[in-house]
Amino acid sequence: MRGMRAAGTHGAGRLVAMVLALAVLAFLLLAGEARAGTYRVAQCGWGLGVELDPTLPVTTGTAFTLDARSCPLPVGSGPTGMAFEGAVAPDGAVGRARARWIAPSGTRFAGVHLVWRGTALPGNWLGLGIDVGAEYHLLAYSFTSVAPEVFDRPIEGQAWAFEAFLQCLTSGPAVDCTRSTPSTMSVGGITFTLEDTQPPRAQLGGALVAPGWHRGPVPLEIAASDIGAGVAGETASIDGAAVLGDAPACATQLIENETRGTKMQPCPSTASRSVEVDTTGLADGAHTVGGCATDFAGDGGCAPEARIEVDNSPPAIAFGAATEGEVEATVSDRYSGVATGTISVRRADAEGWTDLPTDLDREGPGTATPSARLPDLGAGTYFLRVLATDVAGNASSAQTRIAGGSTEAHGGAAAPGGKAARPGGKSPGGTGKAPSSGTDARSSASDQATHLRVRLVASGGRERGTPKGAGHASGLTVDYGTAVEVRGRLTDARGGGVGGRPVTVVVRAAAGIGGAPERRRVLADHGGRFSLRLPAGTSRRVAVSFHGGGGLAAAPRRSLALRVRAAVSLAAEPTELDTGESVRLHGHVLLGPARVSRRGKLVAIQYLERATGRWRPALVVRTDSKGRFDTKYRFRYVTGLAEIRLRATAPAEGGWPFARGSSAPVTVEVHGR
């Protein structure tokens, strides 16, 4: 007799359940779990052995045996299967032989297919069952015999163990196990179907996904783990194109035209691979790195995508004019930005370079201007060199040739050996002519020190929150449309004004605005004071210098930042509405000479948080190519009556020649329902 039943636990509980309900047996099926990937494992057949639970003994009691040696016999060499036997022993000698398989963590038995047979003498029985949680469920059993039979059945519930057993149940004065003749059972050709409920995990690593800019070959790693069927494959990709792939070795075999596992966990639980990614094959800029893994059950899992920045292009360098004793260049790097810039000089007939003290003015995230004062150069030919690096580590250099002793080279006629000719004296050529630049010859180390005090002052309009005309030593921030004055004073070492001397003012436009720097010369009055008006426009960088001469030493150059706030307008329609309704928010960013891409200029719509007095973001939009924006915002959770102040802010961006600017606030009244 064979049947199906849910019994209590092993041993005595199982015996009681069998005695009480031999006629009517039924499954107790647990609620099904969410669908997941499945895989199949072959055991005891096709030349394969078995992978049993090593924590439990396969036999207990008297003269019970379990022999799996015939499982891995080659196909066609004879009957295969695990041999269970309750051998000859005194009647009533209890015991059992059992084979028990455990589902890997994160999986459950979802089905079984096997061939079994057996003969049980009175008091003995044989069967198949599963552990579901803390309960034991019988799938099939017999108290007499089982002819060779295929057992094929799905399994429901969280079945974590499968068992085949032959057992002597009873011993006592009334009923004994008959042991005078052996009871036997054979199980073989087993295929388990397991459901893997946990997807694999993938993790990206290596220098390529570390913060910062990357160039050249950079390591990329991917690590995967899976607690169930094991990791069957892992891949890493950049912008969707695979750069790494790996299929770890798994315990599998092709059986009946199907790849089946030969272990309960066919593939390794962890796997990792690394590769050197040659970033020179990628375009400069941002890229997306992905990493995914699959398990033997066919489930997949991916790591969070990583954004990387690549820059393999060195900075571009362009020399400016070497005039008035100063040389400068423009260094630009579109991606990672300029990191360093050094100007050096050497004679044409020499090999060694002399680095000059170099100032590096940054015009924006992608442009910088290195500049340096030239030393006294004797007559002859010289080379100037600029060495520049970007943040990613790419380096480039550029050279130009100048003539020593030329006013174009250093602002005055120089005698051999670097000694300057005195005004009215003879030059090394014996002409007796004074320098033609309009200034005295270059000063010597004994010349009197000079100092520059410079500031920017708004000459029109008014700064928000700042008194009109309040500049400071390093720069000034003004509203759009405000003209500015550069004001300063040239003094000697005692603080007295130095009059009648030219001061050079160089104005460079902000990033995103083309054109060469504007160079102006301003004559200091008798008190050493000077001023220059700058018309309204974009943000700019202003450098002021005095190059010395006539017994006066050069003054340290002063650099100031003129920041111009972006001009933004905002209108709201309607200004009174109910919760759940939308307000139209539209406005305009004045572009001036700026140009925006087809994506438009970024604009943040903000609201005033009354509790903190801070402006918080509500939504972000982009303008069209003319700076216009138009969007809607719905108030969903307002209760009661609320007056909400909104404003539009144009933040600073790369290539945008204005500082952060905001519109005047507008107030919207929202009535809660």
Distance CA 283, CA 121 (A): 78
Residue-range domains of the chain with CATH: 5-196 (2.60.120.430), 201-251+266-310 (2.60.40.10), 316-418 (2.60.40.10), 450-564 (2.60.40.1930), 568-671 (2.60.40.1930)
Strand partners, 367: 332, 364
- Whether 313 has a pLDDT exceeding 80, the answer reads yes
Mean pLDDT value of segment 381-395: 94
Distance CA 64, CA 239 (A): 62
Distance CA 371, CA 613 (A): 44
pLDDT of 76 reads: 59
601 pLDDT tier (thresholds 50, 70, 90):
confident
Q: Which residues contact 360 (CB under 8 A, 6 or more apart)?
A: 338, 340, 341, 368, 369, 370
Distance CA 167, CA 126 (A): 6
| pLDDT tens-digit map of 254-285 | 999 999 999 999 999 999 999 999 999 999 99
pLDDT of 20 reads: 30
- DSSP string computed for 488-499: EEEEETTS-B--
End-to-end CA distance of the chain: 72
Provide the strand spans (E) within 198-325.
201-205, 213-214, 217-225, 231-238, 241-246, 252-255, 258-261, 270-278, 285-295, 300-302, 306-310, 316-319
- Whether 423 has a pLDDT exceeding 60, the answer reads no
Q: For residues 536 and 550, is the Cβ–Cβ distance under 8 A?
A: no
Highest mean pLDDT pick, 31-35, 396-400, 636-640: 396-400
Max intra-chain CA distance, the chain: 142
Coil, helix or strand for 67? strand
- Whether 642 has a pLDDT exceeding 60, the answer reads yes
Question: pLDDT averaged over the chain?
Answer: 83
| pLDDT tens-digit map of 561-584 | 898 999 999 999 999 998 888 899
Q: CA geometry: angle at 433 spanning 431 and 438, to 5°?
A: 155
Report the residue count for the chain: 673
In this structure, of 366-370, 391-395, 412-416, 549-553, the range with the lowest mean pLDDT score is 412-416
99: nearest Cα among 41, 7, 162, 13 = 162
Whole-number percent of the chain with pLDDT over 90: 57
Phi, psi dihedrals of residue 416, rounded to the nearest 5°: -55, 145
Instruction: Kindly state the tokens that stand for 109.
Output: 């038995």
| pLDDT tens-digit map of 139-197 | 999 999 999 999 999 999 999 999 999 999 877 776 789 999 999 999 999 999 999 99
- Whether 307 has a pLDDT exceeding 90, the answer reads yes
- Whether 433 has a pLDDT exceeding 50, the answer reads no
Q: CA geometry: angle at 47 spanning 41 and 48, to 5°?
A: 35
Mean pLDDT value of segment 638-649: 88
- Whether 129 has a pLDDT exceeding 70, the answer reads yes
Q: For residues 483 and 557, is the Cβ–Cβ distance under 8 A?
A: no
Residue with the larger pLDDT of the pair 673 and 652: 652
- Whether 338 has a pLDDT exceeding 80, the answer reads yes
pLDDT of 430 reads: 36
Distance CA 388, CA 395 (A): 6
- Whether 428 has a pLDDT exceeding 70, the answer reads no
Mean pLDDT value of segment 473-494: 88
- Whether 316 has a pLDDT exceeding 80, the answer reads yes
Mean pLDDT value of segment 191-211: 95
| pLDDT tens-digit map of 389-416 | 999 999 999 999 888 764 343 333 222 2
232 pLDDT tier (thresholds 50, 70, 90):
very high
Q: For residues 266 and 255, is the Cβ–Cβ distance under 8 A?
A: no
Distance CA 566, CA 659 (A): 6
pLDDT of 460 reads: 53
Phi, psi dihedrals of residue 417, rounded to the nearest 5°: 80, 0
- Whether 418 has a pLDDT exceeding 60, the answer reads no
326 pLDDT tier (thresholds 50, 70, 90):
confident
What count of Cα atoms within 13 Å lies in the side-chain half-sphere of residue 274?
11
Q: Look up tokens 């991606």; give the residue.
A: 335
417 pLDDT tier (thresholds 50, 70, 90):
very low
Residue type, 404: G
pLDDT of 343 reads: 94
Q: Which residues contact 77 (CB under 8 A, 6 or more apart)?
A: none
pLDDT of 322 reads: 64
CA distances from 71 to 49, 189, 252, 641 (A): 5, 9, 16, 80
Mean pLDDT value of segment 420-433: 34
